[in-house]
Amino acid sequence: MDDSSPQEGGFWSSLVSLFKNKNGHTLEDAIREALRDGELKSDDVPMLLGVLRLQRLYVHELMVPRTDIVCCDVADGFQEVCRLIVEEGHSRIPIYEGDKDSIVGIVHAKDLLGILLSGCEAKPDLTQIMRPALFIPENKNVRDMLHEFLKRRQHLAIAVDEYGGTSGLITLEDVIEEIVGDIEDEHDTEEPAEIQSLPDGTHLISGRLELEEMNEAFGASLASEQVETIGGYLCELSGRVPRIGESFAIPGFSLTIKEADKKQVRWIHVKPDAKDA
Ligand code: ADP
């Protein structure tokens, strides 16, 4: 990089310093400094930081977990895949043989239109219309994932764990959302907020709320090596999925399971401890 660049200013000299490894600043620091100096617009900064964050994120942090993958057994056939597309609003449906660990391809909604238009009574077997699935390790770096999507010209990948089992699904949209924020498409239904404040000063939180976000929102300091969500954390504490009505004390709060089933905690009631007078 040329020091005598005509664009030289706070931001550019920071970049020059960065590339020369002079002042130990990170590129993030340079971007924030440029915002302070008015050299970058505040709208652009979250996107720039988002791009840089991709290299610190892993697929398992963004993917839709295995339990939420909308997929269909190859034996269920054409009609079932059409029903899932219409009812669930996803345009790509993974197809498995027997169970979710054996995904054999992906059916794309667009590929069904020609078949439906042909008016032919006999519908093809799903194996004839599905496309190959892209499998990637769940611990793949999200920046590399983005490059892989672009290189392979694919928009969806199946994440697998170290034993080759299906652990989740990730699409190009999940990666792009890390840069530009949530993208609501025409078919998205509004999800309830993961933290809801109730009129009596208590809160309702989703079992899927990440520990990091929980700590940020409530000033807590929960940590786990094993799990990422508060629902997972309470399962870890109990050694099983806790039942509705069970309570847990964490510093400053009591947490009560509001909604859960055999497999997961869905909603938790958070009550701040009464302050000593
Ligand atoms: P679509 O519009 O077909 O749902 P996108 O790539 O826009 O596909 O993805 C939107 C969101 O839906 C993403 O979070 C993605 O992970 C999720 N998603 C896409 N396909 C499926 C599927 N078959 N099952 C579960 N989630 C899916």
Amino acid identity at 178: E
- Could you say which architecture CATH assigns to the domain 61-177? Roll (3.10)
CATH for the stretch 195-276: 3.30.465.10
Q: Which residues of 15-50 are buried (b: 16+ CB within 10 A; e: fewer)?
A: bbebeeeeeeeeeeebbbbbbeeebbeeeeeeebeb
Determine the average pLDDT of the residues in 103-114: 95
pLDDT digits (tens, 9 = 90+) for 143-162: 999 999 999 999 999 999 99
**Has residue 7 got a pLDDT over 80?**
no
For residue 156, the ligand 1 atom closest to its alpha carbon is 6
**For the whole model, what pTM was predicted?**
0.74
CA distances, 250 to each of 112, 121, 180, 227, 270 (Å): 51, 61, 34, 17, 10
pLDDT digits (tens, 9 = 90+) for 22-49: 566 788 888 888 888 888 888 888 889 8
- Lowest-confidence segment of 10-14, 30-34, 191-195, 250-254 by average pLDDT: 10-14
DSSP conformation class of 51: H
Residue 38 CA to ligand 1 centre (angstroms)? 37
Residue 57 CA to ligand 1 centre (angstroms)? 19
Q: 90 CB less than 6 Å from ligand 1?
A: yes
Collect all residues with Cβ–Cβ distance below 8 Å to 86 and sequence separation of at least 6: none
DSSP output for 250-271: ETTEEEEEEEE-SS-EEEEEEE
Q: Whose CA is nearest to atom 2 of ligand 1?
A: 90
The domain segmentation of the chain, as residue ranges, is 2-57, 61-177, 195-276
Run of H or E including 107: strand 103-108
Q: 69 CB less than 6 Å from ligand 1?
A: yes
The rounded mean pLDDT for the chain is: 88
Give the pLDDT confidence score for residue 214 in this predicted structure.
92
| Domains 61-177 and 195-276 in one fold | no
Determine the average pLDDT of the residues in 85-91: 95
DSSP conformation class of 55: G
Given a contact cutoff of 8 angstroms between Cβ atoms, the answer to whether 113 and 83 are in contact is no
Q: Whose CA is nearest to atom 15 of ligand 1?
A: 171
